[in-house]
Chain A
């Protein structure tokens, strides 16, 4: 439903978005991850037709956003960054305005407002002026505006920004539920949201896509993925570390903590080791040494580590400058 090909946006000499391509189909929730200033909002502004791309193509539901913007925009619901809303209107008036511009009138308009208000829990503030709303309510008001016409495509720029933990949870649940029937793109810099709501995630850094996959696939890119953590009671940390390191399947081991009674050790596999071999060897070692094994855990990998290792700004920039 959304097809982005080789998208480029230059602000003066600066490339805010540089050759981004991806597609989103119905039933997909695409998480757009990246540090601040990576180009997430700029990409979304181009997809929704607010700013024209410097280069590349955007197709929304078969319509080219540059050549045929009106039918393309009709298919999209958009929550811009910082959830702007007309401060001089009531929540009801604001949603009514959005509904009218979406071509909804009379009964259809009333029903649409009712639905959006219910989904975003706005009943209590329906007749309140937008400028007196708390940040969370204002955010949800703007969110309600984006779903007022039950669009096939939703573009949400940091939809959970400024919400409290309960509201964040509600919004993620809502996104996941709506994602079953729609194509959704949402941006965030909160990594838990990827697990909580996405079917797929893209990591973008300095205008370029640096990773693209399901949350599980991304996690496997973590150094931690495949490592095994052991918890052993009544053992000497030095000996345990040494014996673990001496196994041929282990590339490296580290003692995580050692409070006298319990030792925690992590072993990283050699790159050639097959799945399952590391855990087996470690278990056999523990049996041989008569260690009192409390826990043996295969690590899945952590998204934040993946995120940090591919978007680490300082080291990468230094490398780039060094090669110039």
Chain B
């Protein structure tokens, strides 16, 4: 047996394997899968149209008379509520439906490499969609003299928020092979994360509960943590919040996948 394994380890000696290479390979495949279908382009167009509609028509971009992207960023938590779960829903449900999960997880890659690779690809996809809103920045710079720092942190916060929603979508897509079910669950979870810090809700809660409890509840909300990014402030607590949501959701994804495999 030991002679056996020696022969084999020399046979694989010329083979390159490391975590980063595996993650990049999986992410590349995943990203290519997005762009292989028209859904990606449809998604981007819908996203840009909705962003434009809300910013200019509903948000009153021009009426505000100020050179800022406040009316642009304020809609992101709500736009992402439906668009990000739509991107995330296929991540693991599709693997399970096609049976390719069995293929992927019997390759010499670890489960966390697969999870991170797939997540990174869809996050990058969202980043591309978000990046395509750059005409907004040009417009506002042309019209006035905006605070470019605040715009940058706004984008950073928006990207982190998208990542948090996406990680939740990743988790729910691991629960089921049905993409619609996955979509609905992740919309509900994301909605809760919005509502628990949305002023109309917190104002109502204050009447029922003590302020410190309301504070704790709203501390779980994406709204509370996205807010300061929009004002140009990067608070490490907000940063940690989004990273913690991402970390927790991806970890749970791993737990769900493992428990499914255990049967």
Contacts and interface: CB of A to CB of B under 8 A. Distances in A.
Contact of B25 (A12, A74, A97): A97
Contact of B8 (A51, A75, A80, A98): A75
A88 B33 contact: yes
Interface string A60-75: 0111000001110111
Interface residues of B, number: 35
Contacts of A80: 99, 102-103, 106
B12 interface: yes
A62 B106 contact: no
Nearest to B104: A101
Interface stretch (B52-60, B79-87, B107-115, B139-147): B107-115
A294 B153 CA distance: 96
Contacts of B262: 51-52
Nearest to A82: B99
Interface stretch (B15-23, B189-197, B201-209): B15-23
A87 B98 contact: yes
B47 to A, nearest CB: 21
A76 interface: yes
Contacts of A73: 106-108
B12 A74 contact: yes
A185 to B, nearest CB: 14
A1 B4 contact: yes
A87 to B, nearest CB: 6
B16 A52 contact: no
Contacts of B133: none
B177 to A, nearest CB: 13
Contacts of B106: 48-50, 73, 76, 78, 80
A103 interface: yes
A93 B31 CA distance: 13
Contacts, number: 104
Nearest to A94: B29
A39 B17 CA distance: 33
B36 interface: yes
A103 B12 contact: yes
Contacts of B42: none
B210 interface: no
B17 A103 contact: yes
Contacts of B11: 152
A88 B37 contact: yes
B22 A101 contact: yes
Interface in B211-245: none
Contact of A78 (B5, B16, B103, B261): B103
A152 B8 CA distance: 8
A122 interface: no
A187 interface: no
B2 to A, nearest CB: 6
